[in-house]
Amino acid sequence: MSSVNASDNITQSAEDYWFKIEKSVLAPILTTEMVLGVLGNGLVLIVKVARKDHFHCLYWLPLFSLTISDFLCSILIICGSLLALLTEGQISPWCEVVSLLKFTFITSSIGSIAVLCIQRFMGIPSKGKKLSVLMAVACVASWCTGTIFGAVPVAYRWIRYDPAEMLCAVFWENSYSDMLVYILCAFSICIFAPFLLIVSCSVLTCVGFGKDCSSQGDLSSITPLLVILYLLCCVPFAASELVLLGRPDLSPSPQWLRSLSSVMTYLDCSLNPFIYCTNKDFRKAVLVLVWNKRRSTFPDPVLTGVTRLEA
């Protein structure tokens, strides 16, 4: 009996030790991603609204939708994960809200990128054509679809806190068939369909079959970088869900994969502002905004009087 207790104590001590190591590593990473995401995407939104005349963007609507998604994810989800990591949990109803919002932001992001790729391939600007209204509806639909599929696990009470993901996530405990139906439907509609549109439109545009009418200096020229970064960062998330599909016993994917999934998803939100700044005109617009703010803080000296000196 004593040997069993000693073994349990050793196992518990080892788990506590590794948890402390993970916490010391993940906390600085999440803090950095949160700061970069909030400040970077906030600055991008301000520039897009206040300095839109300093750069040209023919397909501005999906890029604006993507930036809003990244900003909200940084200020709500990444911040929530950091607090959950430090306090070791999340309480209801914030637990359910975070789970719903995370899937909403993932779906809206990939939906916005898909709309951007379609617009570039078909040469549909975000204003001036009837098809631009359809593109706007598609952006809104990606947000609504993510919200609907994110609300299903909340309604069926499949949500509980996952220390590996550092937020509340979906856990399956009853029916493999329910899990299979939900994940297949969610992935087919919210992830796989936009993924096919992104890849096909990007490839066709790159080989010269697209009707992209934007100039070389247009902000939409950053689309290939956005696509590559998004696909790379979403690989762990997709792998985690596919591993779950292959386990009829409903056991979750490995802990390290779930943690990597969250970290990489957040990384995409924090790095997108740097991709925007690879565009020369947009970078100039950022500098103009920062410089004008600095000048307003430290105004130029004003001549208020003249004193005459006699020899």
Query: 293 pLDDT exceeds 60?
Result: no
Instruction: Give the pLDDT confidence score for residue 307 in this predicted structure.
Output: 58
Q: How confident is the model at residue 208 (pLDDT cuts 50, 70, 90)?
A: confident
Give the Å distances, CA to CA, from 211 to 60, 120, 134, 228.
17, 7, 17, 21
Structure-token pair, residue 185: 């439907």
The answer to whether residue 197 is domain-embedded is yes
Greatest CA separation for the chain: 106
The answer to whether residue 163 is domain-embedded is yes
Please provide the average confidence, as pLDDT, over all residues in the chain. 83
The dihedral through the CA atoms of 201, 182, 63, 236 has a sign that is negative
Of all residues in the chain, the percent with pLDDT exceeding 90 is: 38
How far apart (Å, rounded) are the C-alpha atoms in residues 216 and 197? Answer: 23
Q: Are 127 and 70 in contact (CB under 8 A)?
A: no
Q: How confident is the model at residue 30 (pLDDT cuts 50, 70, 90)?
A: very high
Q: Are 111 and 191 in contact (CB under 8 A)?
A: no
How far apart (Å, rounded) are the C-alpha atoms in residues 62 and 83? Answer: 30
How far apart (Å, rounded) are the C-alpha atoms in residues 151 and 39? Answer: 29
Q: How confident is the model at residue 6 (pLDDT cuts 50, 70, 90)?
A: very low
The answer to whether residue 306 is domain-embedded is no
Query: 141 pLDDT exceeds 80?
Result: yes
Residue carrying the six token digits 């209204």: 133
67 is in which domain, residue-wise? Answer: 23-291
- Going by C-alpha positions, the residue among 211, 205, 51, 75 that lies closest to residue 131 is 211
Q: How many domains does the chain have?
A: 1
The answer to whether residue 283 is domain-embedded is yes
Q: How confident is the model at residue 255 (pLDDT cuts 50, 70, 90)?
A: confident
The answer to whether residue 237 is domain-embedded is yes
Q: Is 13 left (phi over 0), alpha (psi -120 to 50) or beta?
A: alpha
Q: What are phi and psi of 161, to 5 degrees?
A: -70, 135
How far apart (Å, rounded) are the C-alpha atoms in residues 33 and 171? Answer: 26
| Cα 104 to chain centroid, rounded | 10
Structure-token pair, residue 44: 């991008």
Tell me the per-residue pLDDT of 271-292, one tens digit each, with 9 for 90 and over. Answer: 999 999 999 989 898 888 877 6
Q: Which residues contact 46 (CB under 8 A, 6 or more apart)?
A: 289
The answer to whether residue 18 is domain-embedded is no
The answer to whether residue 5 is domain-embedded is no
Strands of 97-210 (E only): list them.
159-162, 167-170
Tell me the per-residue pLDDT of 257-267, one tens digit each, with 9 for 90 and over. Answer: 888 999 999 99
Q: The CATH number of the domain where 217 resides is what? A: 1.20.1070.10
The answer to whether residue 98 is domain-embedded is yes
| Cα 39 to chain centroid, rounded | 14
How far apart (Å, rounded) are the C-alpha atoms in residues 199 and 103? Answer: 21
Residue carrying the six token digits 């545009």: 205
